[in-house]
Amino acid sequence: MTDARVPARVVRTRFPALRDDHLRSLAQWRLVQPIREQGETMYSFADLATLREVHDALGLGTPLKAIVRQQLAARQGQLTLFDGTAPRDEGGRARVVTLAPRPARSTETLAGSPVDTSRAEEAFERATAIDGLPGHSRGVVMQAYREALAFDPALVPALINLGNLHYADGHLPEAAALYEQALTLAPDAFEAWFNLGHTHHDAGRFAEAVRCYARALELGPESADACFYLAVAYEKLGRSQDARPLWQQYQQLAPDGEWIALAREFGE
């Protein structure tokens, strides 16, 4: 049995101070979680309690960004804000790290063990070719990355991509371990720092998330995503003064970005 839900048109009638942009912002911050049913946006009764609080606060003249921060603070430790935030490409699947062009290499040794880089790269390319494609199970893709790592344990892109798959499955410790292993081999790997930040964020370790996102932003100063998630982590720590310049930086890096409305609201 599903929970009863209320259509958005009823919400607008009951709470006239809530504009469409307010509702979009609340949904983006995961303070409410509307769904689409039969062509209509629907809110749960749990959402209505939040909407009532926001509506009343707006009626008192409280700015929306202050209301959102109050709601975030009240829900600290319970939020699922931006969960499932592995980097995504335009197709909605996890961004797959590829190999940089390099000369073909034959069998080498690593710490006394044989390393067959050619076969490792063949397995890696086979994995990336099907990673995220419909009709291929995640287990098959994982096995291909593991095969690549069996031939070359220092193949950093394979570690990162395998970590992404564990992350997508909600296996945060396994994903974090793979990202950390990648960083021991390549301390300046942007994707490993960025994705490691996601694992800390989703586990509620916001200070560690800040450390990782900040390092990612150092390595990729033009990354709007790193800028955005660092701002989010600061907000979750109650450090809005540190987040504000990042919201402003995000506006410069991604003037048409997905989160531009939030960045403008919180960057003021």
**For residue 152, is pLDDT > 50?**
yes
Convert the pLDDT of each residue in 88-105 to its tens digit: 443 333 466 776 654 444
| Strand, coil or helix: 99 | coil
Convert the pLDDT of each residue in 158-206 to its tens digit: 999 999 999 988 899 999 999 999 999 999 999 999 999 999 988 889 9
Biggest CA–CA distance in the chain, Å, is 72
Convert the pLDDT of each residue in 195-224 to its tens digit: 999 999 888 899 999 999 999 999 999 999
Convert the pLDDT of each residue in 44-71 to its tens digit: 878 888 899 999 999 999 988 888 888 8
- H/E element, 7: strand 5-7
Task: Give the Å distances, CA to CA, from 233 to 106, 108, 170, 204.
Answer: 44, 42, 19, 10
User: Which residues, 6+ apart, have CB-to-CB distance to 204 below 8 Å?
Assistant: 77
Apex CA 41: angle with CA 232 and CA 264, to 5°? 30
